[in-house]
Amino acid sequence: MLVALPLLLAAADPQTAAPPVPPAPAEEPQAAPDAGQDIVVTARRREERLQDVSIAVAVLDEKTLTDTGAFNVNRLQQFQPALQFYSSNPRNSSINIRGLGAPFGLTNDGIEQGVGFYLDGVYVGRAGASTFDFVDVERVEVLRGPQGTLYGKNTTAGAVNITTKAPSFTPEAKIEVSGGNYDFLQIKGTASAPIIDDKLAVRVSVSRTSRKGTIYNVASDEYLHRQDNFSARGQLLWKATPNLDFRLFADFNLQNPLCCVQYYARTGSTQRPLNRQYAALAAALGYAPPSTNPFDRVTDLDASINSRQEMGGLSLVANWDVGPATITSVSAWRYWNWLPANDRDFIGLPITTISQNPSRQKQVSQELRIASNGKSRLQYTFGAFFFNQTINTNGSQVQGPAASRFLIAPSNPNSNNPAVLNGLTSTNTISFDNTSFAVFGKLNWEVLPKLHIQPGLRVNYDKKSGSYVAVVTTGTGSTTLNADQRAVLAPQSYAPRFSDWNVSGDVTLSYDFTPDVHAYATYARSFKSGGINLSGLPLDAANNPILSAQTVKPEKVDHFEVGLKTQFLDRRLTVNLAGFWTEIKDYQATVTNGQLGVIRGYLANAAAVRVRGVEWDTSFRASDRFRVYFNGAFTDAKYTNFKDAPCPPELSGGTTVTGSQVPSAPGTPGGLSPAFCDISGQILPGISKWSLSYGGEYNIPVGGGEAYIGYDGSYRTKFSSNPSRSLYTDISGYSLSNFRLGFRKDKLNVFAWVRNAFDQHYFELLSVQSGSTGLIVGQPGDPRTFGGTVSIGF
């Protein structure tokens, strides 16, 4: 916040302040994306008409968020086909755009996000800290493609930019209450008022969400996957002078859900000996899951389950209009505390009784920008950005009495001795320090009437350091391990380091054929910083960590894109198209293997990846009574060169081939497994080839207001849920349908809704039980929910 001090002093000294100019309004009225009016966005760090921005960007305004129930990032993906959000729990969350951003799978703290998440101009350093409920949001912008020359943190895949409403100098208030099945209750309230007329205003917002879980645990007699969220935000707006204003933000969020669980979905044959695969092991212990149909939504997990997290922060945003340009300072401090409990064996047997990595994160950031004002032929944005993040984790993994039978070969007498592994504990102490600094800038030069060239440049420095120490003790507390114990949990201690400078840039050519037809072509060369592995390393034949896997190389991205933005019929019809081709060298992938000592998978570089596709955003307002939209994305995402990848489950668990030996056919119990697999040409995980969103609304005048009926649907084709594709972990395509029926008048809106109306059975993700047992576990999506919402403003 020190950078804002010179601006504060300038406000206090009228001799140093710039000459007064008419200020921009604190709140620009926002039209709905389908209203056929001008939509104002800040995607390029200045207020602009959406259709004039040479970026593939989509906008969801407050009305759309309320009507569709999109109250967090997870629900946004149903309305933005190019956006993917995956979460096995809040910490293990990833936001991807066009299939890129963060490696699909469990989170590794030592890497960067490829999709930047911004809250009122503040970069949020972890996707897990973006899982709060939206409250008092003015708009959400989803920017697709590299944005590093416009945004403080380098974002090679895109950005999600959330803007909340500013304090108002006219008193106002709003309350929104929603209720539904599964005891769903959500209450949102906001109020704003002036403290000093035209000088100081305040805005306060709160949100409370609760819902009974959708999955019943017969072991604990409780419902899992519940929602239990609280959010509060406060703002002060001080207009120090007509050309200088400050916004001070404070927010606090607490989530305490009993989530997130994965449980029995199916089984598949591996190359582990048949008597060491799931069916035989479960039979030997007399175990059967409560149901083999995952959509019965019952489980018997016998370990504690929770995903408690607390997050919040303070930020100060200053804007100083000096006439030809505006200087902006964004100073922020944020924190995120994570306290989980998981059942990592995924079944009701005491194999792994504790698996948790509670962590504490703090970040400070400072961004300083100067952006030109007005509509001159040469416009510019220049900025500097500093970011520091620390994470400290103290975790543990504890094996139970059933671990010996599951994890030790039956031919070994110790497999029948529960004491060998019972109580075997790995205590993990993990630390991470991440410092980043960058200067960046972008020009928009109208070289000829209607023809613009927009070059951008970024110079970036990243430094990461960490420590991973795993101390393993037996059930009696001894650190002396036998071979069987060490094969399950091996001590590890290493201190990875990474630092690097890089230069990236982009150039866009755009042409305004008419005020409503705009075309552009972009080339971007960008980098995603290298990373360090902080979830444990794979082991060699002697069960020692492979230290060469401590770090991963930076990603090098070449991105090409062409786009066309058009409006017709008095701007009632909008058709925006984008085609893109992205080549990535040294793609950072989260990979897994059959070892138990690597709790969360580890990072590796795939030599080359290619993502290409076509997207469209269309809407049509046929009249004031009827509107429709249809958005879609075709995405072809593949590993083009990944020859040393870990193998899928059907090729894992057997004796590793040596010399001239030939691996057995997939799924051959007791067979020979390759040391690694060539998965070149296979699809990237987590991305569907086709994703669509569509819907509309029809209204009729009633009693001075309007009655309306609305529909929102989404569809996606099958996708892989494992870094190395397996038929066992492919998730079938599915469609979701949401309906609403209501009445609105002035500031009153009352409607009933049903989501997943046809009770579609689908998985959000599938995972493989470690140890190559062949058990596939899944996390099902929400069943049909229904309820009503009342919203009223004052």
Contact call for residues 504 and 154 (beta carbons, < 8 A): yes
In order, the DSSP letters of 197-215 are TTTEEEEEEEEEEEE--SE
pLDDT digit string, tens, across residues 184-203:
999 999 999 999 999 999 99
Amino acid 49: pLDDT = 80
Neighbours of 476 (CB within 10 A): 8
What percent of the chain lies above the pLDDT cut of 70? 93
What is the structure's pLDDT at 17? 36
pLDDT at 33: 42
* Residue keyed to tokens 């993502």: 611
Mean pLDDT, rounded, for 634-656: 92
Between 32 and 323, the more confident residue is: 323
What is the tens place of the pLDDT at every residue in 594-621? 554 444 567 889 999 999 999 999 999 9
* Residue of 645, 605, 590, 606 whose CA lies nearest to 103: 590
pLDDT, position 546: 83
**pLDDT greater than 70 at residue 435:** yes
Cβ–Cβ under 8 Å, residues 340 and 128 = no
- Pair 433, 470: CB distance under 8 Å: no
Predicted confidence at residue 18, as pLDDT, reads: 35
301 band by pLDDT with thresholds 50, 70 and 90: very high
Residue 725's identity, in one-letter code, is: R
- 259: cis peptide before it, omega within 30°? no
Give, for 10, the enclosing helix (H) or strand (E): helix 5-12
Give per-residue pLDDT as tens, 137-169.
998 999 999 888 888 787 889 999 999 999 999
Start-to-end CA distance of the chain, whole Å, equals: 35
Residues 401-424 pLDDT 10s? 999 999 898 889 999 999 999 999
Query: Would you state the pLDDT for residue 644?
Result: 87
What's the pLDDT at 34? 44
Residue 451's DSSP bridge partners are 448, 511
Q: How far apart are CA 93 and CA 127, in angstroms?
A: 6
Would you say residue 20 has pLDDT above 50?
Answer: no
Distances (CA, A) of 506 to 446, 609, 662: 17, 20, 47
Instruction: Give mean pLDDT, residues 124-131.
Output: 83
What percent of the chain clears pLDDT 90, i.e. is strictly above it?
69
CB distance 176 to 133 below 8 Å: no
For 198, the domain range is 2-793
pLDDT of 6 higher than 70? no
The tokens for 328 are 């902006």
Over residues 739-775, the pLDDT tens digits come to 999 999 999 999 999 999 999 999 999 999 888 899 9
Under DSSP, is residue 537 helix (H, G, I), strand (E, B) or coil? coil
Confidence at residue 38, expressed as pLDDT on a 0 to 100 scale:
64
Token pair of 646 as six digits: 């870990």
At residue 599, the pLDDT reads 46
Exposed / middle / buried, residue 564 (Cβ in 10 Å: 0-12, 13-18, 19+): middle
**Is residue 76 over pLDDT 90?**
no
What's the rounded Cα separation, in Å, for the pair 151 and 159? 9
- Which candidate, 484, 470, 344, 475, places its Cα nearest to that of 422? 475
State CA 195 to chain mean position distance. 37
Say how many domains are in the chain.
1
DSSP secondary structure letters along 343-374: -TT-SSSSSEEEEE--EEEEEEEEEEEEEE-S
- Give SS3 for 233: strand
pLDDT at 79: 83
pLDDT value at residue 601: 65
The arithmetic mean of pLDDT across residues 371-393, rounded, is 93
Structure confidence at residue 46 (pLDDT): 67
* CATH label of the domain that carries residue 466: 2.40.170.20
Does the pLDDT of residue 110 top 80, yes or no?
yes
Does the pLDDT at position 280 exceed 80?
yes
Residue in 258, 177, 255, 254 with CA at minimum distance from that of residue 214: 258
What token pair was written down for 8?
Answer: 């504060």
Written as six digits, the tokens of 272 are 């582990």
Q: pLDDT at position 592, please? A: 64
| CA atoms of 137 and 132, how far apart (whole Å) | 12
Residue 566 has pLDDT above 80, yes or no: yes
